[in-house]
Structure 1
Amino acid sequence: MRISLRNRLFGVAATAAALALTALASPAAAAPASASGPAPATALAPASAAAAEPAAPALPRPTGRYATGRDTLFLTDHTRTDAWVPAAGPRQLLVSLNYPARPGTGGDPAPYMAEEEARLMLAQRGLEDVVPPALVGATRTHARTAARPAPGRFPLVLLSPGFGTPRATLTGLAEELASRGYVVATADHPYESTGTQLPDGRVLTCAACDKVDAQPDDAARREVLAAVSAGRADDFSFLLDRLTGPDPAWRHARTIDPRRVGMAGHSIGGNAASSTMAADRRVDAGVNMDGTFFDPAPVRGLDGRPFLMLGTDPGHGPGTDTSWDEGWDRLDGFKRWLTVRDSGHFTFTDIPEIGEQLGIDDPDAPLSAARSTTITRSYVTAFFDRSLRGRPARLLNGPTPANPEVLFQHP
């Protein structure tokens, strides 16, 4: 039995979610969740008790020539106090590092996310009694823990998840990029996710979401969300210092080529990509996957560095999210504005694959999981291959028969 889900699968916190995702971005977007709590899940119908217990989902296998490894770093920036919970002390980051690895090395497949992280993510949309958190947490990955790095030095790509969304939801893209010869650092930003489990077992919840929800109007909420994006820029500058500086925190830091750095993000993480580029010249190229520019970094210009805007259609077509129109006009280097027919806000994450395998449909985003994965992987990789490696990227030249859903916008 399949479950029909009209509200976006595994969404994020209440009004903060709707704002950070699309409600402020587009008049054509779905109505936001109530300020008093998560959006109602009235379209859900749990499977029959007699139904067979589903197997844990599996992420699609990466397509590149490299095997992949994964490490985890827990870092503390002693120069900054956490903006959302000052009493917590210095700002901290939990970072997954996916990297090209020697085949046949390493231990077990890396875990997807902790069960408590999965439970909190599901609970925000009223799904914890419909989808077993243990199944989502046990989603099968392909990177191996403690794998030996492949020889050579590789470009670095930073990934930032959506507001209220765990970093794990970008694992499929991280594994794909690693298999194509990139080191990928995906960060959980403390108190900006439904749940982040620290190495000592503590779980941080979304204080920043509460801050957004407490604002009196949309203008005030936008200010907080702009601060989220700008704060993530500080997070990634700190992370770059710890990965490429004189005393690196990662044992395999020698595999990173610090002269070739890109960044991509989903939702507000996409805004964070432009915020980071505006603040840190070390980031050479950026991708915004369906995120409003609350922090108007493109307005300040990115000094000719390339940028890709990849979004839903029509939700992020010209004239719908005006921040994209304004950003596009001021981007001053190689740029592409692509939208994808039949897509939803989470098309560019692991959510379509997990949802489809667990029997959950989203009628608002009829694009299949397979097409969601193929499009996201293909265009993001092509962009970084062109921008960081100087390789031809014909996929970015215009529409192709193999990808009829992808529209090239020329406002």
Structure 2
Amino acid sequence: MTRIFIATTAAALVATPPMAQNRIDMIRPDAPELAALGDMPVGVRTMSFTDMGRPDVVNATPEGEIPTQDREITVEVWYPAAEGTEPGGTYEGVFLRDGETQVSLSGIAARDAAPAEGSFPLVLISHGYPGNRFLMSHLGENLASKGYVAVSADHPESTYSDQNKFTSTLVNRPLDQAFLIESMATLDDEIGAITDADSAGVIGYSMGGYGALIFGGGGLSQTAVTREGPEVFVPPQDLLDRNATGSAEHDALIDDRVKAVIAIGPWGRNRDFFDAESLAGFEKPLLLIAGSQDDVSQYPAIRQIFEETTGTDRMLLTFEGANHNAAAPMPAPAESYAMSEKLGYAPFDHYADAVWDTARMNNILQHFATAFMDLHLKGEEEKAEYFDLVEDAEAGVWSMDDAGQPQDDHSYWKGFPERTAKGLMLERRTAE
């Protein structure tokens, strides 16, 4: 009887999501050093910006006048809040991957709090296809606590609830990113007053990474804009040409205010949307992040991006054994454990990884994103030490004296507690 009871209880535990408040701000005890929240309270606001007269890719036809639309982009803005702001708040009505189920998330940000005094670098966060502005909310809150204004977009026709033709994302993603940087730079309110858009960074996941590569200077290949066929994702009337290497529109897209780019699982090289010639035009400091088992953007193709962005110093952080969900998505909301009739699977799969704990990956991303943005946007040169690492984390040697100071043979990854630098690789290349 006892054995049957135990087995039944175990089965129930497997089928039931963990007790949770869908928190996005989890910092594990074994998190690397720079994952810790900063000293500043965090505020958050929902805003929207409208780009008037953008070409309407979804409704464009092979012939005739190209229609236009007023493209409204809703964003979540995290920012350093005034001293004394009480931490904590919720995000209501957040859609899951099925585009139907709405959930509540909990974090440290206080809704509509008064901003802190000062000027803070801008970081734009761009989701995948599909996604939404909350997918990397853990990173937005974390960066804001350290003195950044972080802006995360709902890219129209590319979110869970309004997903439309993929060609719209191909054309619009880098244009959205450029538009939002400019919108924040010219924002005439108390958030605009604290935003330093002259020191800006872009963090893009999957199709957000695709856009960031284009926006950062690595335009599309000629193959991408000229090939023909039923499944090649080319929109009508050469609409994609504006993102091609060498086009006047692409040259004008590159923004000197953007000082650093982090591309997580960037899509495109796997379908030859980029090639060695086009990627050579990318000249921003670049941190690539990927899972070694990524079968969406395909890890070998991400390695090609790493090798072919020869115009810049770049790094590739690899999560060994992780798939496409490496690092970027927030922890899976409890409601995502349930099977979705619409999707045919549990939305959990959209957020989680089969090998790595999501909070663990989030913490590692927060650590390296902090170091990278502090180095390039704030000029904190000492943060370069967090990248001066042995390539294979597990090859690092932990060697401390009795006073807790590193000895000559200490080579463990900086900022990682003993025994925690596992399953990670960090490779570096310098500009040619």
Normalising to structure 1: TM-score of the pair?
0.69
Match of 1:189 in 2: 155
For the pair 1:386 / 2:375, whether they are aligned, the reply is yes
Q: Which of these residues, 157, 179, 182, is aligned with residue 123 of structure 2?
A: 157
* Identity value in percent: 24
The CA deviation at 1:107 is 9.1
CA contact (8 A) 2:76 2:153 kept: yes
Q: Describe the superposition over 1:28-58 as per-residue Cα deviations: whole angstroms up to 9, x where unpaired.
A: xxxxxxxxxxxxxxxxxx969x979944321
DSSP-derived class of the 2:307 partner: helix
Q: Which of these residues, 380, 386, 389, is aligned with residue 395 of structure 1?
A: 386
Match of 1:174 in 2: 140
DSSP-derived class of the 2:122 partner: strand
The CA deviation at 1:110 is 4.2
The CA deviation at 1:79 is 3.1
CA contact (8 A) 1:296 1:327 kept: no
The CA deviation at 1:73 is 1.2
Q: Describe the superposition over 1:201-251 as per-residue Cα deviations: whole angstroms up to 9, x where unpaired.
A: xxxx1112xxx4xxxxxxxxxxx3xx6244211112222222113xx2554
For the pair 1:373 / 2:362, whether they are aligned, the reply is yes
Match of 1:122 in 2: 98
For the pair 1:60 / 2:25, whether they are aligned, the reply is yes
Match of 2:203 in 1: 264
Q: Describe the superposition over 1:180-219 as per-residue Cα deviations: whole angstroms up to 9, x where unpaired.
A: 1110111111111121xxxxxxxxx1112xxx4xxxxxxx
**Which segment is superposed worse, 98-107 or 74-83?**
98-107
Q: Which amino acid aligns with 1:231?
A: N
Distance change >3 Å, CA 54–CA 371, structure 1 → 2: closer
Note the 1:197-212 alignment, pairs <5 A. Answer: 205-208=162-165, 212=166
CA contact (8 A) 1:346 1:352 kept: no
Match of 1:234 in 2: 175
The CA deviation at 1:169 is 0.8
Distance change >3 Å, CA 176–CA 229, structure 1 → 2: farther
The CA deviation at 1:168 is 0.8
For the pair 1:78 / 2:52, whether they are aligned, the reply is yes
Normalising to structure 2: TM-score of the pair?
0.66
Q: Where do 5+ consecutive residues of structure 2 fail to align?
A: 1-10, 27-35, 61-66, 218-252, 339-345, 394-412
The CA deviation at 1:175 is 0.4
The CA deviation at 1:256 is 1.1
Distance in 2 of aligned mates of 1:377 and 1:52? 25
Q: Which of these residues, 244, 267, 271, is aligned with residue 185 of structure 2?
A: 244
CA contact (8 A) 1:307 1:333 kept: yes
Note the 1:8-407 alignment, pairs <5 A. Answer: 54-61=19-26, 63-85=37-59, 89-105=69-85, 109-111=89-91, 113-114=92-93, 117-118=95-96, 121-122=97-98, 133-134=101-102, 137-195=103-161, 205-208=162-165, 212=166, 224=167, 228-245=169-186, 248=187, 250-278=189-217, 279-281=253-255, 282-294=257-269, 295-296=273-274, 299-302=278-281, 304-315=283-294, 320-322=299-301, 324-352=303-331, 354=333, 365-391=354-380, 392-393=382-383, 394-398=385-389, 399=393, 400=413, 402-407=420-425
Q: Which amino acid aligns with 1:397?
A: D
Q: Which amino acid aligns with 1:284?
A: K
C-alpha RMSD of the superposition: 3.4
Q: Which amino acid aligns with 1:296?
A: F
Q: Which amino acid aligns with 1:71?
A: R
DSSP-derived class of the 1:387 partner: helix
Distance in 1 of aligned mates of 2:77 and 2:85? 16
Distance in 1 of aligned mates of 2:388 and 2:87? 41
Q: Describe the superposition over 1:348-402 as per-residue Cα deviations: whole angstroms up to 9, x where unpaired.
A: 2344353699699869522123321211111111111111122222221124264
Q: Which amino acid aligns with 2:207?
A: I
Distance in 2 of aligned mates of 1:238 and 1:286? 16
CA contact (8 A) 1:300 1:330 kept: yes
DSSP-derived class of the 1:407 partner: strand
Q: Aligned pairs, how many? A: 323
Distance in 2 of aligned mates of 1:240 and 1:108? 27
CA contact (8 A) 2:115 2:190 kept: no
